[in-house]
């Protein structure tokens, strides 16, 4: 059985050397690059099974590297950061990272976390919940229990984002970044207003259901327990 390949994206050689030694000792095959652009190229040429990604890289922000990695695949990613700010951790996890470790860190703990991520990512995926939504991306249309919804541009983008990951809680900031063009001109209450109109349109189709759930202090998620369309 081949060793799991881990791409290390870290601009500090000392940390990279420590990681490579710990990974080799524990049965992984490490590969090291020092910049975001090099990581993107390496992943295109020889995809790794896991990526350890430093947030503070010399060329690209680690979060931007993560977004671009996810555009071409679903490789598991563990973020590294030298900052103690909770905001880094929150942003990284909201983007969809698999785990997060702050420097200084224990190499043994980091390797243990990688093994958990690897086990989780290699399990047979659970069948996705049968949802009552049908998305037609070409026409930018969404049907709910077979009924076509009359949606504005941003209502469509917002509902499509929620439907694509049932149960995932999106903060207002993340929804603004994903759906709205001019992030700087939009406010949190913009998301709330569009969620309100979306709920009204969904309730007009199925009055007894609450498909969009509010998670206080966190954001919004699509319910995973909606009855499937007949």
Q: How many domains does the chain have?
A: 2
93 has pLDDT over 70 = no
Whether residues 14 and 117 fall in one domain: yes
User: Is residue 124 very low, low, confident or very high in pLDDT (cuts 50, 70, 90)?
Assistant: very low
| 109 lies in some domain | yes
Q: Are residues 59 and 148 located together in one domain of the fold? A: no
> Do 26 and 103 reside in the same domain of the chain?
yes
Long-range pairs for 24-33 at CB < 8 Å and ≥24 separation? 26/111, 27/3, 28/3, 28/4, 28/111, 28/114, 29/2, 29/3, 29/4, 29/5, 30/5, 30/6, 31/5, 31/6, 31/7, 32/7, 32/8, 33/7, 33/8, 33/9
In terms of residues, how long is the chain?
230
Return the sign of the alpha-carbon dihedral for residues 184, 185, 189, 192: negative
Contacts 24+ apart (CB under 8 A), 90-94: 90/171, 91/63, 92/55, 92/63, 92/66, 94/170, 94/171, 94/174
pLDDT at 122: 65
* Residue 118: pLDDT over 50: yes
Structural domain harbouring 72: 5-122
Q: Is residue 229 part of a domain?
A: no
- Mean residue pLDDT of the chain comes to 86
Res 176: pLDDT: 87
Nearest by Cα to 190 from 178, 201, 202? 178
Domain final residue pick, 88, 122, 156:
122
User: Which two three-digit tokens encode residue 47?
Assistant: 């995809």
Residue-wise pLDDT tens digits, 146-202: 999 999 999 999 999 999 888 888 888 888 888 887 654 556 688 999 999 999 999
Residue listed under structure tokens 């093994």: 115
- Annotate 26-88 with DSSP letters as a single string: TT-EEEEESSHHHHHHHHHHS--SEEEEESB-SSSBHHHHHHHHHHH----EEEEES---HHH
* Angstrom distance (rounded) from CA 141 to CA 180: 17
Q: Does 140 lie in the same domain as 98? A: no
Does one domain contain both 114 and 9?
yes
C-alpha dihedral (92, 95, 99, 100), degrees to nearest 10: 0
Q: What CATH number should be reported for the domain holding residue 80?
A: 3.40.50.2300
Q: Does 227 fall in a domain?
A: no
Indicate whether 103 and 184 sit together in one domain: no
pTM for this structure?
0.55
Question: What residues contact 70, with CB distance under 8 A and at least 6 apart?
Answer: 96
pLDDT per position as a tens digit, 140-149: 999 999 999 9
Same domain, 37 and 70: yes
């Amino acid at each position: 059985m081949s060793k799991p390949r881990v791409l290390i994206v870290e601009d500090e050689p000392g940390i990279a050397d420590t990681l490579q030694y710990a990974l080799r000792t524990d049965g992984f095959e490490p590969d090291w690059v020092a910049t975001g652009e090099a990581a993107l190229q390496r992943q295109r040429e020889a995809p790794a099974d896991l990526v350890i990604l430093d947030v503070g890289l010399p060329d690209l922000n680690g979060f931007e590297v993560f977004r671009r990695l996810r555009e071409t695949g679903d490789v598991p990613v563990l973020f590294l950061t030298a900052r103690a700010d909770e905001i880094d951790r929150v942003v990284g996890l909201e983007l969809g990272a698999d785990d997060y470790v702050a420097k200084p860190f224990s190499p043994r703990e980091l390797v243990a976390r990688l093994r958990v991520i690897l086990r989780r990512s290699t399990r047979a995926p659970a069948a996705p919940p049968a949802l009552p939504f049908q998305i037609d991306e070409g026409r930018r249309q969404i049907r709910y229990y077979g009924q076509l919804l009359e949606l504005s541009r941003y209502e469509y983008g917002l509902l499509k984002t929620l439907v694509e990951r049932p149960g995932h809680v999106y903060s207002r900031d993340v929804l603004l970044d994903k759906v709205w063009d001019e992030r700087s001109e939009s406010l949190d209450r913009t998301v709330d207003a569009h969620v309100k109109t979306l709920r009204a349109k969904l309730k007009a189709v199925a009055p007894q259901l609450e498909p969009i759930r509010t998670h206080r202090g966190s954001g919004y998620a699509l319910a995973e327990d909606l009855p499937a369309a007949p």
